[in-house]
Amino acid sequence: MPITTVNGSQFGDEGKGKIVDLLAEHFDLGVRPTAGDNAGHTVVANGKTVKMRLAPSAIVAGTPVIIGDDVMINPFTLAKEIEDLKGAGVDVDNLLTVSTNTHLVLPYHVYLDELNEVGETPIGTTKRGIGPAFADKVNRKGMRMEEFVSPEILKKRLEQLTERVNRMAVALGGDKEFYAQELYEQLAPAADILRPYVGPSAQKIHKALAEGQEVLIEGAQGSLNDLVFGTYPYVTSSRPIVGGLLAGAGVGPKHVERVIGVMKPYQTRVGIGPIVGEMFGEEADLIVRRGNEYGTVTGRARRVMACDLVALKHTSELNGTTAFALTKLDVLDESPKIKLVTGYIVDGKKADLFPTNLDYAKVKEEYTIIDGWNTPTSHIRDYDKLPKQVKELVNIIEQFTNVAVAIVSVGADREATIVRHPEMVLPKRALAAYQK
Ligand code: IMP
Ligand code: MG
């Protein structure tokens, strides 16, 4: 069965880009099936840092990729990203397909997102227009990519859509008006850039699977940002859990062999919303600084929490996670103590099941605290050579969640990685080559 998925087990920014980049060369096809340019992935390969928002991270390794059917595309972002990737030496023209079914984030969606966020119930979005664009999609008022790259249809659709949009903006207290012709002139150059890449997605994936190709499906954001299972309403508008990835790619679960959950030994969250195990002061600052924990899209310092094993167990069940990739271990190299949340108390009682959203906001956490290792780990390439406190940490994670930690990442670079259980994360045919 040739599908491997990589998705976030926490609140996003777990380091999925690096893990996908590491694995991608062993796959025939990479697919990013959900979300939009609210996501930000950083890949460091051959000393070069590549930041991406829409293109699948697998493209950096030279793997053919598809932006799948449920992605929300800001055309200006993607046009610029194509140019940047070409500048970084990536053969975008031969590697990238953008699904005809993707929807567009248009300038008025960004404006509506801003208006929503100054209202009485902001949720701390990235203000990329994602929520309003998904709302239009669900409302059947969206613009699809195959329409966008056809000049006549684009013009007609903008004429149909702008009047309603202007009424919505006024209702939200806005004073900006959008005109179809002006939007068309603004958008047409981006449509010209994207047109050559547009094609069917799910059909291509089905063909690849029928031919026995190995397909790597990568998520954006984290499972706790999920529209349904996250901490609603402080969630994104898409589905970062594995079920969402499969729906977005248009494939059934029978093909899935490996479900890799990416996690950090601490957690971060951007935006508003309840947090369990939050850290403050020097304890948090050290992690923000060492982990460079600033939003890729917004530049906001991320809020820092202890690694929450209760939540991790829950998301591993939502996803059917078969192995963890533990990233950013080295960020904790100077932390005197390592804290893990290992119990929830709600209304004075130990929670047995993962709490509902209203109860989640009331959680008092119980911690398991172990000694830090106080020594650099970034140079280590052999699991056995890691400090004993790291192994203790890994054991606690595995015992609590019943999921093995197959990869340990000790730095941003592709090389700074320990693949502890290659058979859990790589296609069979790649195993021999990998044990170089
Ligand atoms: P939106 O996706 O811009 O609507 O933002 C909704 C929530 O999801 C906010 O809390 C964002 O900070 C969060 N969010 C969206 N994308 C990401 C991501 O890629 N990483 C982490 N948080 C994200
Ligand atoms: Mg990110």
**What average pLDDT does the structure give for the chain?**
95
Question: How far apart are the CA of 429 and the centre of ligand 2, in A?
Answer: 31
Q: DSSP string of 288-316? A: HHHHT-B-TTT-PBPEEEEEEHHHHHHHH
Question: How far apart are the CA of 264 and the centre of ligand 1, in A?
Answer: 17
100 lines ligand 1 (CB under 6 A): no
Q: Are 341 and 367 in contact (CB under 8 A)?
A: yes
User: Which atom of ligand 1 lies closest to the CA of 125?
Assistant: 5
Phi/psi at 367 (nearest 5 deg)? -110, 150
Query: What value, to the nearest 5°, has the Cα angle with vertex 394 and ends 390 and 399?
Result: 145
Q: How confident is the model at residue 435 (pLDDT cuts 50, 70, 90)?
A: low
Determine which residue's CA is closest to atom 23 belonging to ligand 1: 221
Q: Per-residue pLDDT for 433 more than 80?
A: no
SS3 category, 259? strand
125 lines ligand 1 (CB under 6 A): yes
Six-digit token string for 92: 């975008």
38 lines ligand 1 (CB under 6 A): yes
- Helices 388-401 and 309-319: crossing angle in degrees, nearest 10, is 50
Residue among 427, 421, 417 nearest 22 (CA):
417
In the block, which residue shows the tokens 């087990």?
9
Q: Per-residue pLDDT for 332 more than 80?
A: yes
Q: Are 266 and 307 in contact (CB under 8 A)?
A: yes
237 lines ligand 1 (CB under 6 A): yes
- The string of pLDDT tens digits covering residues 228-285 is 999 999 999 999 999 999 999 999 999 999 999 999 999 999 989 999 999 999 999 9
Task: Report the b/e string of 197-233 with b at 16+ CB within 10 A.
Answer: bbebbbebbeebbeeebbbbbbbbbbbbbbbebbbee
The letter for the amino acid at 317 is E
Q: For the chain, how are helix, strand and coil distributed in percent, rounded to 5?
A: 40, 25, 35
13 flagged as catalytic: yes
234 lines ligand 1 (CB under 6 A): yes
Question: How far apart are the CA of 134 and the centre of ligand 1, in A?
Answer: 14
DSSP class of 426: S
State the pTM of this model. 0.96
User: Which atom of ligand 1 lies closest to the CA of 270?
Assistant: 12
Q: How far apart are alpha carbons 344 and 58 in whole angstroms?
A: 37
Give the rounded distance of the alpha carbon of 354 from its chain centre: 23
382 flagged as catalytic: no
- The string of pLDDT tens digits covering residues 287-305 is 999 999 998 778 888 999 9
Give the up-direction half-sphere exposure of residue 189: CA atoms within 13 A in the CB hemisphere. 7
User: Which atom of ligand 1 lies closest to the CA of 298?
Assistant: 12
Question: How far apart are the CA of 236 and the centre of ligand 1, in A?
Answer: 5
> Which residues lie at CB < 5 A from ion ligand 2?
13, 40, 296
Q: How confident is the model at residue 45 (pLDDT cuts 50, 70, 90)?
A: confident
- Helices 180-194 and 75-87: crossing angle in degrees, nearest 10, is 30
Q: DSSP string of 215-253? A: EEEEEEEEGGG-TTTSSTTSS-SS--SHHHHHHHHT--G
User: Which atom of ligand 1 lies closest to the CA of 271?
Assistant: 10
